[in-house]
C-alpha cells in the first residue's frame, strides 16, 4: 500500500469517525441518563439527511407532519392533567412544532437556501427525540434494561417504516459545505472533511461546556451518575429523559447532514451507521466519553481500511470489533451483586 | 366420564382434522407458523426463562438450512442425513459463540447477538457455493422409501409433530432440577453459583439448545420451501422472532406458539393490505408489529399466553409424594476446623473492607460475626463463599484452601449460604426454590431430563425439599410462590434451600431479620438442632439477644477489622465493642 | 397529636412486589423537632422513608406535609421542603463536591429561586472540610466527608423537614459525634428532623420523640426520654441493664 492511499484511507476514516463520534456521544448520553440503548439513533441520522434533502427539493418532509402529529397527540393526552401541565407545559409541547412548521413553509416559499433549511431539518429531527421518549420509553422507565432495549429495537422498526413512507426507497445526498481542498504536508485534504472535523470539534466543545457549567447540563450528568440522588434533589426523571433524547436526536440529525454529503443515505441506512456509533460507545465501556470518542475514530479508520482490503466483509469486521470489548466489559464487572 | 376428561381426545381429533378443514393457503400459513414457533420456542427457553436476550436466532436457522440444502443439492446427500449435519453445524457454531456469550451479562449478550445476526447473513451471501444473494433453488424435498413428500397436508403434520415434540422435550427439561437451575440463571448468577451450579456451562447448554431448535426449523424450512436465500436469516428476521416471543409471552413455552401464530398470520394479512393503503410497495407490517411490541411491553409485559391461560384455569401442581431419601455427605473426619481464616484482606479501590481477618469455626459450633452496619461482615461472607476473592490471606474449608476459588467449587465442598438481600425465584413455589438447593445432589443427565427418564430422582429431590421445608416450619406454604411470603419467611426459605444442599458448613447472613419473636425462637431451636448434628454454622446477625443466647463464640468486626473475639459474655463487656456499638453522643 | 405538626403519616402501607412491608404506620413530626425511629434491621425503616418520599408507591394511608396532602411525586415533595438523605448517600460520585452542592438547590432553582451563595456559605461553615475539598470528586471522599456532603447537599435545598436514614452508618464514633452535634445545631435553628438510626442510644439522646418500628408496625411511641427508660427498649435496643451500666462506667 502506498503512502498516498494510506493517508487517503486515514482521512476517510477520520471523517466517518468524526460522524460516529457524534452518534456515540448521543448514545452514551441517552444510555447513562435513561438506561435506553438507543438503537434508533441511526434512524435520526437518516431522517436528518432525508429531511434536509426533501427541503432542498422544495418538498415538506413527512417528518414534519410526524412531529406535528405526535406533538398534538401528546398535548391532547396531557389535557387530562391540564392543571398539572399548565399553560407553560402546553406551550412547550406545541410551540416548537408550530414554529418549525411555520419556518419550513415560509423558508420554502421565500428563502430556500441550504443553511436555514439545514437548521430547520436538524430542528425537526431534534424535536422528534423527546416525543419518542415520551411515547415509547417514559411509560416503562423503570422496566428492566432488556425490555428497554427491545422497545428501542421496536422504535427503530417504526421509524424506518415511516421513513419509507415519507421518503420512498431511494437514497438521497446533501450538498457539501465546500468543494475546496487544502494542501497539507504534501497531501490534499478535502474541505468537506475539514468541515466535518471542525463541526465535530465545536459540538464536542459546546457539549463539554454545557455539561460542565450549566445547571441543566449538570442535572443531566447527575441523573446519569446517581438516579436516586437526582430524584432527591428534585431533578425530574421525565425532564432529563426528554433532554437527553433531544440532544441525541439533534446530534443524530446533524450527523445526517454531515454524512449526507459524503455518502448517499436511504431510509434504512441509518441502522448500520447507528450501530457503528454504538460499537464506539461500547469501546468506551458505555460510560466514558473520551474513550467513546477514541473508539469512534478507531471504528472509522478500521472501516475505511476494511473497505479497502475486503469490502464485502467491511461491516462484519467492524461489528466483530465489539465482541472482545463486550467480553472484557463482562469480565471486568465481577459477579457480586450483594453489597 | 366427565367433560373434563373427554376434552383432550376431542381436541386431538379436531387438531388432526384441521389440515383437511382449512383452505389451501391456510395450510401454507400454518406450516410457517409451526416453523417460526420452533425458533420462538428456543428463544423462550433462552430469553424468557434463562434471561439471555438474542436478536440473532435467525442466523442459526440459516446455518442448518444452508448446510442441509448444500449437502442435498450439491453433494446429493439425503436430507435425512442433512438433518444431523445441519444440527451439528448449528450446534458447533452455537457452542463456539456460547464460549463467548456465556461470559456476557444481560444487554451485552443482546448486543453481541446483533453482531452475529448481521455477520452470518453476510457470510451466506458471500460464500460462493451457497449462491450469493440469489441463494439456492431446487433443493430436494424429503423422500422416504421412494416416496417424495410433497403433499402439503403431510408437511403440516410433520412440521407440527416436530414442534409439539420439541415443546414436550422443553417441558420435560424445565420440569426438573435442570429446569430450576435454568430459571435461576435469569436473576443473576450469584445465587446459582453459591449452590454449586456450573452456571457458565448451563447457560451455554441453554444457548446451544435454543440454537438447535432454530436449526431444526431451518432444516424443515429448506426442504419445505425448496429454495432459500439469505434474507429469511437476517438480523431483521431474528428480531421478528424475538417480537413473536414478546407478544406471545416470553416466559411461556406455549407463548412461542401463540406469538408465532399472531405474527405470521398478521404479516400475511398486512402484507397485502398496507402497501395498497399506502400506495407503494414495502414491508410496512413491521411498523405494526413494532407498535404492538411497544404496547405489549408497556401494558402487558407478560404477553398474551398468560391471559389465555387464565381463561383455562389450570390445575394446581401436585404436592410431592414420599420417596427414598437422598444420600448424605459423611461427617467430616477428625477435629479439623470446618472453616479457618487467617490474615484475610480485601480492598475495594481505596477502601479496606476486610483487613487481616482471622478466626475459625469448628464442626458442631455456632459462631456469630457481629458488628455495626458497614463493618465488613458481608464482605467476609462473600470472601468465604467464593463470591469474592481475597487480596491476601488464607481461607480453608475442612483443611482445603479455597481462597480465590469460584463460589461453585466452594459450595461443592459442603458450604451453603443465605443472602442478606434475599435471592429467590419469586414466581416459583417455595418447594421449587428449596429443591434448587439440592441441585448438585442429582446426577441425571441432560438427555434423561429431556426424555423424562429422571422422574425417580426428581421425586427424591422434591421429597428432600419438602422434608427441609417441614424442618424449617414451611410445610403449610410449600406450593405458594416464594415472593408472596413475608420477607422474614423468605429468609427461612433460603435456609431450607441451603440445607437441601446437605452442607457441613452453613453461612447465614442475618437469618433473624424480619422475624417475629416466636419465629426467632423456632429458628434458634433449628440451629441448635443442626449444631447437635455436627453442623458448623457461621452467622451474621444484628439481634443481640438472638446472638448472645445462641452462639458459642462471637467475632466482632468494626471498620473491616476484628476488634474482639470470644465467649458471648466476655465480648459483651469488652470496651472496644461497647464503643463501636453503643457509643453515645456526649 | 402535638402542636405545629409538619409531617403527619397515617395508616401508611407500602411494600415491594407481592410483599407488604409497612402495615399501617402512624407517625408525626412537629416543627423544630427531632423524631427518631428505632428498630431492628428488616423492620421497614428505610421502606418508611422511601414511601414518605414517594420513591415507592404507597398502598394505603395518607401523608400530609405542612398541612397539605403530600403527593407521591418525589420532585414535588423536594420542592415543598421535604428532603431525604438516604442510607446510601446517593451522591454524584463522578462530579465535584461543588457540583453536588449546587445541584442540591436544583428544585429551588427551577422554581425561580436564586442567590444560593448564602446557603453555600452556611454549608461550608457547618462543614469546613467540604470547602477545602470543593473541587474534589465526591467519589474520592472519605466516609465521613461523604456524609457531610450528603447533608450539605440536602441543606442546599433549604428543607423544612430533613429525613435522615442511618446517618452514622459506617462512620467512626468521633465523626458520628460531630455529625450529631451539627444535627442538634440545625434543630436549634428551626429545622425538623426525622431520623432513622441503628445507634439507638445516640438517637434517643438526640431526639425529642421516638417510635419503635418492628415488623412494619409502630409498637411503641412517645417522648424519647420515656422510651429510653422503657424496660423493653432498654433490653432490645440499648443493651441489657448490665451492659448499659458498663457503658456509662
Q: Which of B374, B516, B545 lies at the smallest CB-CB distance from C215?
A: B516
C88 neighbors C55 (Cβ within 8 angstroms): no
What's the predicted TM-score (pTM) here?
A: 0.88
What's the gap in Å between the CA of C66 and the closest CA on chain B? Answer: 30
- Counts for chain C of helices (H) and strands (E), in that order: 12, 10
Region C64-82: mean pLDDT is 86
For C162, the grid coordinates are 430533613
Contact A234 C107 (CB under 8 A): yes
Tell how strand B392-397 and strand B339-348 pair up: antiparallel
What's the gap in Å between the CA of B354 and the closest CA on chain A? Answer: 13
Which of C92, C104, C140, C153 has the most A C-beta neighbours within 10 Å, making it the best mutation to test the interface with A? C92
CA–CA gap between residue A104 and residue A91 (Å, rounded): 19
pLDDT at A82: 63
Q: pLDDT category, C124, cuts 50, 70, 90?
A: very high
C123 neighbors C155 (Cβ within 8 angstroms): yes
pLDDT single digits (tens) C38-70: 887 778 888 999 999 989 888 988 999 888 888
Whether the pLDDT of residue A316 is over 50: the answer is yes
What's the gap in Å between the CA of B553 and the closest CA on chain C? Answer: 18
CA–CA gap between residue B369 and residue B84 (Å, rounded): 57
CA–CA gap between residue B54 and residue B207 (Å, rounded): 9
Q: Kindly state the greatest CA–CA separation across chain B.
A: 98
Q: Any idea which of A68-82, A97-111, A180-194, C155-169 has the lowest mean pLDDT?
A: A180-194
What's the gap in Å between the CA of B305 and the closest CA on chain C? Answer: 21
CA–CA gap between residue A7 and residue A62 (Å, rounded): 40
A161 touches chain B (CB under 8 A): yes
For residue B9, what are the contacts with CB-CB under 8 A and spacing of at least 6? none
Q: pLDDT category, A295, cuts 50, 70, 90?
A: confident
For C118, the grid coordinates are 448564602
C94 touches chain A (CB under 8 A): yes
Contact B297 A149 (CB under 8 A): no
CA–CA gap between residue A109 and residue A103 (Å, rounded): 10
Which of A88, A210, A213, A233 has the most C C-beta neighbours within 10 Å, making it the best mutation to test the interface with C? A233
Which of C13, C15, C18, C206 has the most B C-beta neighbours within 10 Å, making it the best mutation to test the interface with B? C18
Contact B510 C41 (CB under 8 A): yes
A34 neighbors A216 (Cβ within 8 angstroms): no
pLDDT at C4: 80
Residues in C closer than 8 angstroms to A218, CB to CB, are: 95, 99, 102-103
What's the gap in Å between the CA of B573 and the closest CA on chain C? Answer: 7
Q: Which residues of C touch B (CB under 8 A)?
A: 17-19, 21, 40-43, 140, 166, 169-170, 172-173, 176-177, 180-181, 198-199, 201-202, 205-206, 215, 235-236, 238-239, 242-244, 246-247
At C4, give phi and psi (nearest 5°): 55, 45
Paired strand residues for B144: B147
CA–CA gap between residue C211 and residue C33 (Å, rounded): 14
Paired strand residues for C218: C213
pLDDT at C192: 93
ipTM of the complex: 0.89
Orientation of helix A215-225 relative to helix C97-104, angle to 10°: 110
CA–CA gap between residue B240 and residue B56 (Å, rounded): 10
Q: Which of B104, B378, B388 lies at the smallest CB-CB distance from A326?
A: B104
Q: Which residue has the cell 440545625?
A: C186
Secondary structure (DSSP) of C166-195: -TTTT--HHHHHHHHHHHHHHHHTT-EEEE
Contact B583 C199 (CB under 8 A): yes
Whether the pLDDT of residue C72 is over 80: the answer is no
Region A237-264: mean pLDDT is 90
C:101-160 residues touching chain A, CB 8 A cutoff: 102-107, 109-110, 153-154, 157
What's the gap in Å between the CA of C170 and the closest CA on chain B? Answer: 5
pLDDT single digits (tens) A110-158: 887 888 888 999 999 999 999 999 999 988 888 888 889 999 999 999 9
What's the gap in Å between the CA of C68 and the closest CA on chain B? Answer: 32
For C113, the grid coordinates are 429561586
Residues in C closer than 8 angstroms to A233, CB to CB, are: 78, 103-107, 153, 157
pLDDT at A184: 65
pLDDT at C100: 94
CA-only gyration radius of chain C, Å: 18
Sites in chain B below the pLDDT cut of 50 = 584-586
Q: pLDDT category, A186, cuts 50, 70, 90?
A: low
- Cα separations in angstroms, B376 against A196, B109, B379, B382: 53, 33, 5, 10
A:260-319 residues touching chain B, CB 8 A cutoff: 275, 278, 282, 312-313, 315-316, 319
Q: Any idea which of A113-127, C105-119, C225-239 has the lowest mean pLDDT?
A: C225-239
CA B153 to chain centre: 37
B545 neighbors C237 (Cβ within 8 angstroms): no
Residues in B closer than 8 angstroms to A315, CB to CB, are: 118-119, 122
Q: Which of B516, B580, B585 lies at the smallest CB-CB distance from C180?
A: B585
- Chain C contact partners (≥3 CB pairs within 8 A): A, B
Nearest CA in chain C to A215: C103
pLDDT single digits (tens) A17-34: 888 888 888 988 899 888
Residues in A closer than 8 angstroms to B114, CB to CB, are: 275, 319
Percentage of residues of chain A with pLDDT beyond 70: 93
Q: pLDDT category, C1, cuts 50, 70, 90?
A: very low
CA–CA gap between residue C82 and residue C87 (Å, rounded): 16
Q: Which of A219, A226, A231 lies at the smallest CB-CB distance from C91?
A: A226
Q: Pseudo-torsion of CA A202, A203, A209, A211, nearest 10°?
A: -170
Contact C55 A233 (CB under 8 A): no
CA–CA gap between residue B490 and residue B405 (Å, rounded): 28
Strand order in the sheet with C19-30: C19-30, C5-16, C58-65, C68-69
Whether the pLDDT of residue A280 is over 90: the answer is no
Residues in B closer than 8 angstroms to C235, CB to CB, are: 545
For B179, the grid coordinates are 429446569
A151 neighbors A140 (Cβ within 8 angstroms): yes
Paired strand residues for C96: C137
Nearest CA in chain C to B376: C170
pLDDT at A48: 94
Which of C55, C95, C164 has the most A C-beta neighbours within 10 Å, making it the best mutation to test the interface with A? C95
Going A289 to A294 to A295 to A297, the CA torsion angle's sign is: positive
Secondary structure (DSSP) of A94-145: HHHHHHHHHHHHHHHHH---HHHHHHHHHHHHHHHHHHHIIIIIGGGTTS-H
Q: Which residue has the cell 435456609?
A: B495
What's the gap in Å between the CA of C85 and the closest CA on chain B? Answer: 17
What's the gap in Å between the CA of B154 and the closest CA on chain A? Answer: 36
Which of A221, A232, A291 has the most C C-beta neighbours within 10 Å, making it the best mutation to test the interface with C? A232
Contact A218 C102 (CB under 8 A): yes
Exposure b/e, B360-375, CB count within 10 A at least 16 = b? bbbbbbbbbbbbbebb
Q: Which residue has the cell 399553560?
A: A87
Contact A158 B387 (CB under 8 A): no
Region C25-34: mean pLDDT is 91
C174 neighbors C116 (Cβ within 8 angstroms): no
Whether the pLDDT of residue A259 is over 50: the answer is yes
CA–CA gap between residue A53 and residue A224 (Å, rounded): 35
**DSSP H/E element including A50:** helix A41-56
Contact B53 A282 (CB under 8 A): no
Contact B298 A139 (CB under 8 A): yes
What's the gap in Å between the CA of C167 and the closest CA on chain B? Answer: 11
C90 touches chain A (CB under 8 A): yes
**DSSP H/E element including B530:** helix B517-532
- Chain A contact partners (≥3 CB pairs within 8 A): B, C
Nearest CA in chain A to C80: A234
pLDDT at B463: 92
What's the gap in Å between the CA of C91 and the closest CA on chain A? Answer: 6
Going A280 to A284 to A286 to A287, the CA torsion angle's sign is: negative
Nearest Cα residue to A50 out of A124, A135, A133, A152: A124
Nearest CA in chain B to C245: B573
For chains A and B, what is the number of CB pairs under 8 angstroms?
132
CA–CA gap between residue A261 and residue B207 (Å, rounded): 43
Amino acid at each position: 500500500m502506498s503512502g498516498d492511499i494510506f493517508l487517503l484511507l486515514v482521512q476517510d476514516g477520520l471523517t466517518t469517525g468524526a460522524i460516529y463520534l457524534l452518534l456515540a456521544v448521543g448514545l452514551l448520553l441517552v444510555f447513562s441518563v435513561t438506561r435506553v440503548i438507543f438503537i434508533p439513533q441511526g434512524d435520526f441520522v437518516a431522517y436528518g439527511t432525508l429531511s434536509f434533502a426533501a427541503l432542498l427539493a422544495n418538498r415538506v418532509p413527512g417528518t414534519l407532519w410526524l412531529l406535528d402529529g405526535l406533538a398534538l397527540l401528546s398535548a391532547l393526552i396531557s389535557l387530562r392533567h391540564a392543571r398539572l401541565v399548565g399553560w407553560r407545559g402546553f406551550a412547550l409541547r406545541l410551540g416548537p412544532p408550530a414554529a418549525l412548521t411555520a419556518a419550513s413553509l415560509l423558508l420554502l416559499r421565500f428563502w430556500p437556501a441550504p443553511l436555514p433549511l439545514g437548521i430547520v431539518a436538524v430542528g425537526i429531527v431534534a424535536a422528534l427525540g423527546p416525543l419518542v421518549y415520551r411515547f415509547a420509553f417514559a411509560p416503562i422507565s423503570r422496566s428492566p434494561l432488556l425490555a428497554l432495549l427491545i422497545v428501542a429495537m421496536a422504535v427503530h422498526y417504526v421509524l424506518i417504516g415511516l421513513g419509507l413512507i415519507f421518503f420512498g426507497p431511494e437514497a438521497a445526498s446533501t450538498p457539501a459545505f465546500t468543494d475546496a481542498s487544502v494542501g497539507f504536508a504534501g497531501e490534499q485534504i478535502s474541505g468537506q472533511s475539514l468541515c466535518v472535523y471542525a463541526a465535530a470539534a465545536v459540538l464536542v466543545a459546546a457539549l463539554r461546556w454545557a455539561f460542565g457549567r450549566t445547571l441543566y447540563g449538570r442535572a443531566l450528568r447527575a441523573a446519569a451518575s446517581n438516579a436516586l440522588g437526582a430524584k432527591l434533589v428534585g431533578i425530574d426523571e421525565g425532564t432529563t429523559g426528554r433532554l437527553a433524547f433531544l440532544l441525541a436526536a439533534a446530534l443524530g440529525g446533524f450527523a445526517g447532514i454531515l454524512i449526507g454529503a459524503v455518502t448517499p443515505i436511504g431510509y434504512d441506512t441509518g441502522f448500520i451507521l447507528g450501530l457503528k456509533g454504538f460499537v464506539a460507545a461500547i469501546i468506551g465501556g458505555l460510560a466514558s466519553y473520551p474513550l467513546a470518542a477514541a473508539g469512534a475514530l478507531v471504528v472509522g479508520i478500521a472501516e475505511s481500511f476494511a473497505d479497502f482490503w475486503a469490502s464485502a466483509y467491511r461491516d462484519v469486521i467492524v461489528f466483530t470489533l465489539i465482541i472482545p470489548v463486550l467480553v472484557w466489559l463482562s469480565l471486568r464487572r465481577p459477579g457480586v451483586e450483594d453489597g | 366420564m366427565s367433560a373434563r376428561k373427554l376434552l383432550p381426545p376431542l381436541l386431538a381429533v379436531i387438531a388432526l382434522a384441521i389440515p383437511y378443514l382449512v383452505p389451501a393457503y391456510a395450510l401454507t400459513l400454518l406450516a410457517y407458523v409451526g416453523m417460526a414457533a420452533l425458533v420462538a420456542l428456543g428463544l423462550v427457553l433462552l430469553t424468557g426463562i434463562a434471561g439471555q436476550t438474542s436478536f440473532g436466532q435467525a442466523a442459526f436457522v440459516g446455518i442448518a438450512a444452508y448446510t442441509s440444502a448444500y449437502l442435498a443439492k450439491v453433494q446429493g446427500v439425503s436430507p435425512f442425513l442433512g438433518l444431523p449435519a445441519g444440527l451439528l453445524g448449528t450446534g458447533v457454531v452455537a457452542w463456539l459463540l456460547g464460549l463467548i456469550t456465556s461470559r456476557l451479562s444481560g444487554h451485552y449478550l443482546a448486543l453481541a447477538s446483533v453482531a452475529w445476526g448481521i455477520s452470518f447473513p453476510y457470510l451466506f451471501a458471500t460464500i460462493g457455493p451457497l449462491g450469493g444473494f440469489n441463494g439456492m433453488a431446487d433443493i430436494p424435498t424429503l423422500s422416504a422409501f421412494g416416496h417424495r413428500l410433497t403433499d402439503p397436508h403431510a408437511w403440516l403434520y410433520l412440521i407440527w409433530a416436530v414442534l409439539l415434540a420439541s415443546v414436550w422435550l422443553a417441558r420435560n427439561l424445565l420440569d426438573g432440577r435442570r429446569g430450576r437451575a435454568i430459571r435461576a440463571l435469569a436473576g443473576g448468577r450469584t445465587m446459582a453459583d453459591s449452590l454449586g451450579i456450573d452456571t457458565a456451562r448451563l447457560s451455554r447448554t441453554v444457548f446451544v439448545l435454543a440454537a438447535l431448535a432454530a436449526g431444526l426449523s431451518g432444516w424443515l424450512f429448506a426442504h419445505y420451501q425448496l429454495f432459500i436465500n439469505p434474507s429469511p436469516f437476517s438480523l431483521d428476521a431474528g428480531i421478528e422472532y424475538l417480537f413473536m416471543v414478546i407478544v406471545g409471552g416470553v416466559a411461556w413455552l406455549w407463548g412461542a406458539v401463540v406469538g408465532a401464530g399472531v405474527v405470521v398470520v398478521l404479516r400475511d394479512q398486512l402484507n397485502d393490505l398496507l402497501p395498497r393503503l399506502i400506495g407503494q410497495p414495502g414491508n410496512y407490517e413491521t411498523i405494526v408489529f413494532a407498535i404492538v411490541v411497544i404496547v405489549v411491553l408497556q401494558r402487558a409485559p407478560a404477553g398474551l399466553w398468560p391471559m389465555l391461560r387464565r381463561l383455562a384455569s389450570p390445575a394446581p401442581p401436585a404436592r410431592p409424594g414420599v420417596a427414598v431419601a437422598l444420600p448424605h455427605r459423611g461427617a467430616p473426619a477428625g477435629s479439623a476446623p470446618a472453616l479457618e481464616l487467617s490474615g484475610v484482606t480485601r480492598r475495594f479501590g481505596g477502601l479496606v473492607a476486610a483487613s487481616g481477618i482471622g478466626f475459625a469455626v469448628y464442626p458442631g459450633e455456632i459462631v456469630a460475626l457481629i458488628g455495626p452496619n458497614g463493618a465488613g461482615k458481608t464482605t467476609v461472607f462473600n470472601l468465604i463463599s467464593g463470591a469474592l476473592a481475597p487480596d491476601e490471606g488464607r481461607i480453608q474449608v475442612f483443611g482445603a484452601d479455597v481462597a480465590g476459588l469460584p463460589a461453585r467449587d466452594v459450595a461443592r465442598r459442603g458450604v451453603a449460604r443465605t443472602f442478606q438481600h434475599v435471592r429467590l425465584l419469586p414466581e416459583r413455589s417455595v418447594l421449587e426454590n428449596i429443591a434448587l438447593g439440592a441441585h448438585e445432589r442429582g446426577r441425571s443427565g441432560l438427555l434423561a431430563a429431556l426424555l423424562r427418564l429422571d422422574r425417580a430422582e426428581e421425586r427424591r429431590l422434591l421429597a428432600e425439599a419438602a422434608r427441609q421445608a417441614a424442618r424449617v416450619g414451611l410445610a403449610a406454604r410449600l406450593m405458594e410462590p416464594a415472593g408472596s411470603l413475608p420477607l422474614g419467611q423468605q429468609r427461612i426459605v433460603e435456609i431450607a434451600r441451603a440445607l437441601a444442599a446437605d452442607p457441613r458448613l452453613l453461612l447465614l447472613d442475618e437469618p433473624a431479620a424480619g422475624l417475629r419473636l416466636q419465629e426467632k425462637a423456632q429458628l434458634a431451636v433449628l440451629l441448635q438442632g443442626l449444631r447437635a448434628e455436627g453442623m458448623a454454622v457461621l452467622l451474621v446477625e444484628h439481634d443481640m439477644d438472638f446472638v448472645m443466647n445462641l452462639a458459642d463464640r462471637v467475632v466482632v468486626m468494626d471498620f473491616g477489622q476484628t476488634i474482639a473475639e470470644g465467649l458471648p459474655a466476655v465480648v459483651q463487656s469488652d470496651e472496644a465493642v461497647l464503643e463501636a456499638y453503643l457509643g453515645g453522643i456526649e | 397529636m402535638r402542636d405545629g405538626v409538619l409531617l403527619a403519616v397515617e395508616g401508611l402501607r407500602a411494600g415491594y412486589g407481592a410483599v407488604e412491608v409497612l402495615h399501617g404506620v402512624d407517625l408525626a413530626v412537629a416543627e423544630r423537632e427531632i423524631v427518631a425511629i428505632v428498630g431492628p434491621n428488616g423492620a421497614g425503616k428505610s421502606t418508611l422513608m422511601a414511601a414518605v418520599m414517594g420513591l415507592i408507591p404507597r398502598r394505603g394511608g395518607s401523608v400530609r406535609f405542612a398541612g397539605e396532602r403530600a403527593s407521591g411525586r418525589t420532585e414535588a415533595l423536594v420542592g415543598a421542603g421535604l428532603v431525604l438523605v438516604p442510607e446510601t448517600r446517593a451522591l454524584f460520585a463522578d462530579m465535584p463536591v461543588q457540583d453536588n452542592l449546587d445541584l442540591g438547590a436544583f428544585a429551588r432553582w427551577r422554581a425561580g429561586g436564586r442567590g444560593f451563595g448564602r446557603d453555600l456559605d452556611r454549608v461550608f461553615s457547618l462543614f469546613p472540610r467540604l470547602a477545602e475539598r470543593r473541587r474534589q470528586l465526591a467519589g474520592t471522599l472519605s466516609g465521613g466527608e461523604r456524609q457531610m456532603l450528603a447533608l450539605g447537599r440536602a441543606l442546599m435545598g433549604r428543607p423544612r423537614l430533613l429525613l435522615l436514614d442511618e446517618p452514622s452508618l459506617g462512620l467512626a464514633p468521633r465523626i458520628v459525634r460531630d455529625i450529631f452535634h451539627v444535627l442538634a445545631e440545625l434543630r436549634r435553628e428551626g429545622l425538623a428532623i426525622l431520623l432513622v438510626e441503628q445507634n439507638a442510644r445516640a438517637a434517643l439522646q438526640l431526639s425529642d420523640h421516638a417510635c419503635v418500628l418492628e415488623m412494619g408496625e409502630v409498637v411503641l411511641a412517645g417522648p424519647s426520654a420515656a422510651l429510653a427508660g422503657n424496660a423493653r427498649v432498654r433490653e432490645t435496643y440499648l443493651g441489657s441493664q448490665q451492659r448499659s451500666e458498663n457503658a456509662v462506667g
